[in-house]
Structure 1
Amino acid sequence: MFPTPIQKTSRSWQITYQALLPLALIMWLLPLIAVMLFSIKPDSDFTQGNYWGIPGDIRFLENYGRVFFESDMPRYLFNSLLITIPTVIGTIALSCMTGFALGIYRFNGNLLIFFMFIAGNFVPFQILMVPVRDLTIDMNLYDTKTGLVLFHIAFQTGFCTLFMRNFIRALPFPLIEAARVEGVAEWRIFWYVVLPLMKPAIAALAVLIFTFIWNDYFWAIVLTQGPDSQPVTAGITSFNAQYRAAYHLMSAGSIVAALPPVLMFFLMQRHFIAGLTLGAVK
C-alpha cells in the first residue's frame, strides 16, 4: 500500500536512486539557474544570440545596480510589502474568527456557510477578471493598493477558513468546555485558550499566504497599472522596451523579487513544518 523506504531496498536500487537524485534536482532547478545566469550577463550577449553560453563578461554589480538605482524596482518592492503584509494580517484574522465559529459552534446552516466559504476556491479565477475589475472601478478602487489588498483578502479567506476550521476541530474540545464551566466569556476562550493553540497553523498559513500574494501576477496587472500601485511581479515587465526586452535586467529583477518569500520561508521553516504536520500522527 505504501512505497518501500529507500533504506530497505536493494543496494543496486539505492545507488541508482543516489545517482538520479542530483540529476532530477538539477533539472528542477534549471529554470532558476538560467535566470541567475541571465542576470549577470551583459546586454551584448543577448544581441549576439549568446543565451545559454558562458557569459562574455560578468556584470553582476552593474545589472543589479541598475535594477536598484536606475529603475522603479525599490518602489515596486515597497508596494508589494504594502499589499502583502496587510493581506496576510487581514486574511489570518478573519479566518481565525470564522474558523472558530464554524469549528466550535453547532447551529443550523453551519455546513452551508462553510461550503459557501470554500466554494470560491472551485471557481476559475480567470472568469472573475471582468466583474472584479468593473467592481473596483465602480468603488473607485481601481489602480490602488487598497483595492488589491481588499480583493486578496476576500479571495484568500475561503481557503484560510477551510484550513483554520479543520485545525480547530482537531483541538481537544474538553479545554473549551472546562473554560465555559468556569464562566469564561466566549471571546476570552477564543483569545486565551484557542488562539495560543493555533500558533503553528497561523505560522504555516502566514508563509503560504505571503508566498501566494507576493508572487501574484495575474491580478496585479488586471487591477493596477503604473509604479504608484503595482507590486514587484508586475513591475518587472517595465524593463521591456517597445521593440526589445532587457532580459538581463528582468532576470536580475526576478531574483530580487524572489528573495523575500524565500527568506520568509527559511525564517518560519520550523513553524511552517510544525503547522502542516500537527495532527498528522497520533
Structure 2
Amino acid sequence: MTAVADRPTAAAPAPTSAPAGRRKKVTTGRRVLHVFLIVVALVWLFPVLWALYNSFRDYAYTSTHGYASFGGFTLRNFTNAWNQGDFARHFLNSAIVTIPAVVATLVLSSMVAFVVARFNFTFNLALLGMFTAANLLPPQALLIPIYRLFRSIQVPFWVSSSGTLLDSFWGLILINTAFQTGFCAFVLSNYMKTIPMELYEAADVDGASVLRQWWQLTLPLCRPPLAALATLLVTWIYNEFFWATVLLQSGDKFPITSSLNNLRGQFFTDYNLLSAGSVLVALPTLIVFFALQKQFVSGLTLGTTKG
C-alpha cells in the first residue's frame, strides 16, 4: 500500500463583511424609521387614548380643574350614556342590519368570484368590472334615484310598516349588500384564481357539481380572505350612517351611530359623557377584530411570500 501524502487544505475564504460605513448607514436608517413609526403611532393613538381617559372622568371635576388635570374618576358616564342614548335598542338595530348584510355580502360575492375565477367566457372580466364599478360611484350621487326607487317598491306591511322599502331594515340591508358586494367579489376572485385547477378537475372526475365545488372545496380554502373581509364589512356597515338617515324615518329604528347624537345637549355638550358613549359604540368592532385577528392578518398577507 502506498501512503498518500497529506496535502495542506486551503483555508476557506473568510466571509466578506460589508464596510463599516454601510452597516452604520443601514442601522441609522432603521433607527430613524423606528422613531418615525413610533411618532406616527403615538399621534394616531393620542385622540383614542384621550377619549378613553376622559370617559372615566366626571364633567364637574374637569370643568373646574380643566381637562389637563388628573382626578375625578367615575364610572357613571358609561351608565348615563347607556341610558340616555338608549343604547340597548340601537345596538339591536345595528345587529339586525349588520349581521344579515355581512352574511349576504360574503355569500353573493363569493359566488360571483367563483364564477369569474373558475369559468372562462366572453363577458368574464366585464361581469367583474360591473360589480366593482358600484364602488367607484359616491353614494351621494345615487341618493335621489335610490330614494325614489325604494319609495315606489311595494312590500307587505309585515315587512315594513310604511308599505314600501323606506323605513325598513330590509331596505338598509339591501343597499349595504349592494354597495359592498363589488369590492368583496374583486378581492375574492383574485384569491380564487390562485387555487390550482387540478383540484377542480379532480372534483369533476368525482362527480361533484358546481354548487358543491363552491361550497365544499372553494369556501374552505378561502377562509383567510373571508375572515379579513368579514372584519372589514362589520366595521363599514356597523359604522355606516349615511343611508340610515336617508332610508329610515322612525327614530327607534336608527342604528347605534345615531345614539351619540342623543348625548349632545341643547346648550352644552358633556364631552366626557360623549367619550364614554364613543367607547361603548366602538366595543363591538374591537371584539370582532380581536376575535378574527389571526385570520385577518393572514388574509391581508396572502401572496406576499410568493416569488
TM-score, normalised to structure 2, is 0.81
Q: Report the counterpart of residue 186 of structure 2 in structure 1.
A: 162
CA distance in 2, matches of 1:146, 1:224: 11
Which structure 2 residues correspond to residues 27-66 of structure 1 after superposition, within 5 A? Answer: 27-44=43-60, 50=66, 52-54=67-69, 57-59=72-74, 61-66=75-80
Instruction: Determine what percentage of the aligned residue pairs are the same residue.
Output: 35
2:224 is matched with which residue? 200
Amino acid at match of 1:190: W
When the two structures are aligned, how many residues end up with a matched partner?
274
- State how far apart, in whole Å, the 2-side matches of 1:213 and 1:41 are: 31
Structure 1 segment 90-239 matched on structure 2, within 5 A: 90-139=104-153, 140-239=164-263
Residues 179-215 of structure 1: per-residue CA shift (max 9 Å, x gap): 1123222111112221211111211111111111112
Q: Which amino acid aligns with 2:226?
A: I
CA distance in 1 between counterparts of 2:149 and 2:188 reads: 29
Work out whether residues 220 and 233 of structure 1, in 8 Å CA contact, stay in contact via their aligned partners in 2.
Answer: no
Deviations 1:112-150 (A, max 9, x none): 111110011111222122222333333322222221111
Question: Equivalent residue of 1:141, what SS?
Answer: coil
Instruction: Assess if the C-alpha contact under 8 Å between 1:76 and 1:227 holds in 2.
Output: no
Task: Give how far 1:97 is off.
Answer: 0.8
Supply the AA of the counterpart residue of 2:120: R
Unaligned runs of 5+ in 1: 1-6
Q: Which deviates further from its counterpart, 185-194 or 221-230?
A: 221-230
Q: Does residue 1:84 correspond to 2:108, yes or no?
A: no
Q: Distance in 2 between matches of 1:148 and 1:166?
A: 28
| Secondary structure, counterpart of 1:228 in structure 2 | helix
C-alpha deviation, 1:155, in angstroms? 0.8
* 1:161 partner amino acid: A
8 Å contact kept, 2:62–2:69: no
CA shift for structure 1 position 45: 5.6
Kindly indicate whether the alpha-carbon contact (under 8 Å) linking 1:63 and 1:248 is maintained by their aligned counterparts in 2. yes
In the TM superposition, residue 225 of structure 1 has moved relative to its aligned partner by: 4.5
- Secondary structure class of the residue paired with 2:253: coil
Query: What is the aligned-residue RMSD (CA, Å)?
Result: 2.3
Larger Rg: 2
Answer whether contact 2:84 2:262 (CA < 8 A) is retained: no
- The Cα shift of 1:39 comes to 1.8
Whether the 8 Å CA contact 1:103–1:169 is kept in 2: the answer is yes
Q: Structure 2: any 5+ residue segments left out of the alignment?
A: 1-22, 154-163
